[in-house]
Structure 1
Amino acid sequence: MTVRPHTRICDLFGVRHPIVQTGMGFVSDARLTAATANAGGLGILASATLSFAELADAIRRTKERTDAPFGVNLRADAPDIGERVDLLIRERVRVASFALAPKPDLIARLKDGGLVVVPSVGARRHAEKVAAWGADAVVVQGAEGGGHTGPVPTTLLLPQVVDAVDIPVIAAGGFFDGRGLVAALAYGADGIAMGTRFLLTSDSPVSDAVKRRYLDATVTDTVVTAALDGVPQRVLRSDFVDRLGRGGRARRLARAAGSVLAFRRLTGARLTDLAREGRAMRRSHGLTVEQALLAANTPMLLKASMVDGRPEAGVMATGQVAGLIDDLPSCAELIDRIMAEAAAVLDRLATREER
């Protein structure tokens, strides 16, 4: 008997499969998000680097490509977060996801508007906090994951969180196939979230040259560095990243100041909004002035690689799982393959148990 996993998040999100494509800046555009949704997973549109008008257009273009539910990744500390929430409510977006936890009043406002709220966390105590605040589910990313990440591996972090909260838990960090999905379910998770694996699909907007850099990587070709914005991030190792780590404080601050201006041009944000946002980051996340200023580095350096196709001049956020990926399927092919692999693993385990 073939068993295909159907979990709580399938019903919560209104999707066919317990697979989530994360909201990656400059990667998770309308095409990738819609392709994931049409394949039966939950696609999440990245919005942190989009102006309000660009976000509205991206939602419109996603809805033109799919009738399936999808999500939008928001920054809880964005100056115009209220307007963005109103937009998601008006457009009947299914899921609001967050990299940094939203406060209880924001969670309540989104839920009152009909959205499912899904923060990402990297520690048990953070999962307990957002669950108490009313989050509907939580993405738990272990140290293997790309971008901002913590020190605890997925296999140790995931069971801690599953045992601590009653809401659905989605495992992230190190997943790319059906075996991983079954492993996550065995730990008690309700599904998996993947970033690097979806970046490396034919539906991803990333250039072929950048995808080739990812495909050529091994599991040891990533590095966790705080040189970008003062907070640990996992990226592909490169000469450029090594130089960032060697740069002095004055050079880092000068580069960050330039990035602030570039980020302002990219998003249309006002300097007063950026200043207010920096103060909010310092208060809510305990960042120093230097770290708050350096935070402008990440989007601009990601843009150099992901949008401009210049990996030698930017950074490439990645999970260690890049070293296990060697092809570029469509989202439909990928999700179908994962579900078939998961079913085969479950069938094999059931057969062993019968013996």
Structure 2
Amino acid sequence: METAFTELVGTRYPIVQTGMGWVAGPRLVSAAAGAGALGILASATMTTEQLRSAVREVKSRTDAPFGVNLRADAGDAAERAQLIIDEGVRVASFALAPSRELIARLKDAGVVVIPSIGARRHAEKVAAWGADAVIVQGGEGGGHTGDVATTVLLPQVVDAVDIPVVAAGGFCDGRGLVAALAYGAAGIAMGTRFLLTSDSTVPESVKAEYLRATVKDVMVTTAVDGLPHRMLRSELVESLERAGRARALLRAVRHASGFRRISGLTWSRMVREGLAMKHGKDLSWSQVLLAANTPMLLKASMVEGRTDLGVMASGQVAGVIEDLPSCAELVSRVMAEAQQALEALHAFRTLPPAG
């Protein structure tokens, strides 16, 4: 299936595997890319040398194009961008809008720049700055998310920009792909659906938690880091929701202390990073500390399997996913379902106007 997006990035199919921290590593990314989708490495939880190693591992596993997700607000964003350029990575994606200068630098080197956005005005801004495409995440998406549904946000953005738009938030099958195309998108991006594959390195016990979840078990909370964060309901999340300010601060300090030992960051650096993640929000000190070490709360679950100590970011689609196919099986299934949906639509005939 060829769309403006597949022509832009060189993939066989208009499907993106999103850059999920601790999840989108070389194994998952190379499997998604090899299946014909655009796999995206999550670099925020890697050092620059770990990122270089991960990029080279993906390249050793597949010749298909892939991307790297960067934090535009990271202190070493420019260094990581140069790494992408030096290693010949096809796509740079961003969770926050990169600067006009960073976009220009990447584009001048032949890298395709695709920011993720959650509002029409953000899409207009990055398009004006030269972004090649945008991923539009509606409120159904996992992780930090907005409150506007994909079905409302997507057509707004499609109408506002003249670059390829990829729809994210609520997609897991071929029917969703066809629906997104009908809205004017050039493809779909899926996170939770790729997390729940046999190629994902997430512990099997954690995958089982996702498979057990219903749509009502996926919630949005601000208790973790002060920002709206969609994740699976768990005892830890509910305890954070119930905690008073003193208990929340104590818990945050304990989590932050563990993160500091592992990461090597100083307390002042951690607080600065937490404050940088506020984005104008009125966060308490416990939320500032949790914002700085949210990656470690994710790591506890996604890497170590400790769902009692960590959180599980999740899109609402977790409530309708029931199996763990390989990436190749998943992409093949999505495309077959899309073909069936298109054929079913062709069966409809437009009736002449009455009268």
TM-score bin (small chain): over 0.9
Q: Does 1:45 align with 2:41?
A: yes
Quote the residue 2:211 is aligned against: 215
Q: Does 1:21 align with 2:13?
A: no
Quote the residue 1:95 is aligned against: 91
Q: Does 1:229 align with 2:225?
A: yes
Instruction: Confirm or deny: 8 A CA contact 1:95 1:115 kept in the other structure.
Output: yes
Q: Give, in angstroms, the shift of residue 278 of structure 1.
A: 4.4
Q: Pick the aligned partner of 1:179 from 175, 178, 197.
A: 175
Q: Give, in angstroms, the shift of residue 130 of structure 1.
A: 1.1
Q: Give, in angstroms, the shift of residue 23 of structure 1.
A: 0.3
Give the counterpart letter for 1:286 in structure 2: G
For the residue of structure 1 that corresponds to 2:348, the secondary structure is: helix
Which whole-Å CA distance do the structure 2 matches of 1:323 and 1:338 have between them? 18
Quote the residue 1:305 is aligned against: 301
| Change in 2 beyond 3 A, CA 1:275/1:81 | farther
For the residue of structure 1 that corresponds to 2:197, the secondary structure is: coil
Q: Pick the aligned partner of 1:286 from 280, 283, 293.
A: 280
Q: Percent identity?
A: 66
Give the counterpart letter for 1:336 in structure 2: S
Quote the residue 2:5 is aligned against: 9
| Change in 2 beyond 3 A, CA 1:29/1:311 | same
For the residue of structure 2 that corresponds to 1:152, the secondary structure is: coil
Residue by residue over 1:230-282, the C-alpha shift from the partner in whole angstroms, topping out at 9 and shown as x without a partner, is 00011111111100111222333343344444444444556565455445445
Quote the residue 2:134 is aligned against: 138
Instruction: Confirm or deny: 8 A CA contact 2:219 2:230 kept in the other structure.
Output: yes
More deviation, 245-254/32-41: 245-254
Instruction: Confirm or deny: 8 A CA contact 2:139 2:145 kept in the other structure.
Output: yes
For the residue of structure 2 that corresponds to 1:27, the secondary structure is: coil
Residue by residue over 1:88-128, the C-alpha shift from the partner in whole angstroms, topping out at 9 and shown as x without a partner, is 00001111111111111111111112211111111111111
Quote the residue 2:52 is aligned against: 56
| Change in 2 beyond 3 A, CA 1:53/1:212 | same
Q: List alignment gaps of at least 5 residues for structure 1.
A: none
Please list, as runs of the form range in 1=range in 2, the aligned pairs for 1:328-343 lying within 5 A after superposition: 328-343=324-339
Quote the residue 1:162 is aligned against: 158
Q: Pick the aligned partner of 2:234 from 229, 232, 238.
A: 238
Q: Give, in angstroms, the shift of residue 295 of structure 1.
A: 0.8
Q: List alignment gaps of at least 5 residues for structure 2.
A: none
Give the counterpart letter for 2:123 in structure 1: A
For the residue of structure 2 that corresponds to 1:150, the secondary structure is: coil
Residue by residue over 1:295-345, the C-alpha shift from the partner in whole angstroms, topping out at 9 and shown as x without a partner, is 124211111111111112211110110111111000000001101111111
Q: Does 1:151 align with 2:151?
A: no
Which whole-Å CA distance do the structure 2 matches of 1:189 and 1:139 have between them? 10
Q: Give, in angstroms, the shift of residue 196 of structure 1.
A: 0.4
More deviation, 169-178/114-123: 114-123
Quote the residue 1:112 is aligned against: 108
More deviation, 327-336/77-86: 77-86
Return the structure number with greater relative CO, CA threshold 8 A, min gap 6: 1
Which whole-Å CA distance do the structure 2 matches of 1:245 and 1:311 have between them? 16
State TM-score, norm by structure 1: 0.93
Please list, as runs of the form range in 1=range in 2, the aligned pairs for 1:243-322 lying within 5 A after superposition: 243-269=239-265, 273-274=269-270, 276-278=272-274, 280-282=276-278, 285-288=279-282, 290=285, 291-322=287-318
State TM-score, norm by structure 2: 0.93
Give the counterpart letter for 2:207 in structure 1: K
Instruction: Confirm or deny: 8 A CA contact 2:217 2:233 kept in the other structure.
Output: yes
Quote the residue 1:86 is aligned against: 82
What RMSD in Å do the two structures reach over aligned CA positions?
Answer: 1.8
Give the counterpart letter for 2:126 in structure 1: V
